[in-house]
Amino acid sequence: MPGLHQVDIKRIERILNIVLDETKPPVARCRLLSSGFAPYHTFQLTEDIAGFKGCIGCGNCIDACPVLAREPRRRDKTPQRTSFALEALVAEDCDRCSNCVIVCPQVDTTIKHYIVNTRMVEGMARLLKKVDSDEEVLLAFTI
> Which tens digits make up the pLDDT trace of 59-77?
999 999 999 999 999 999 9
Higher per-residue confidence, 106 vs 129: 106
DSSP letter assigned to residue 2: B
- DSSP string for 43-78: S--SS--TT--S-----HHHHH-HHHHH-GGGGGG-
Question: Has residue 99 got a pLDDT over 90?
Answer: yes
Q: Does residue 24 sit in helix, strand or coil?
A: coil
Q: What is the pLDDT of residues 11-22, one digit of tens each?
A: 889 989 999 999
pLDDT at 137: 47
Which residues, 6 or more positions from 65, have their beta carbon under 8 angstroms from its beta carbon? 25, 86, 90, 99, 100
9 or 142: which leads in pLDDT: 9
Q: Which residues pair with 138 in a beta bridge?
A: none
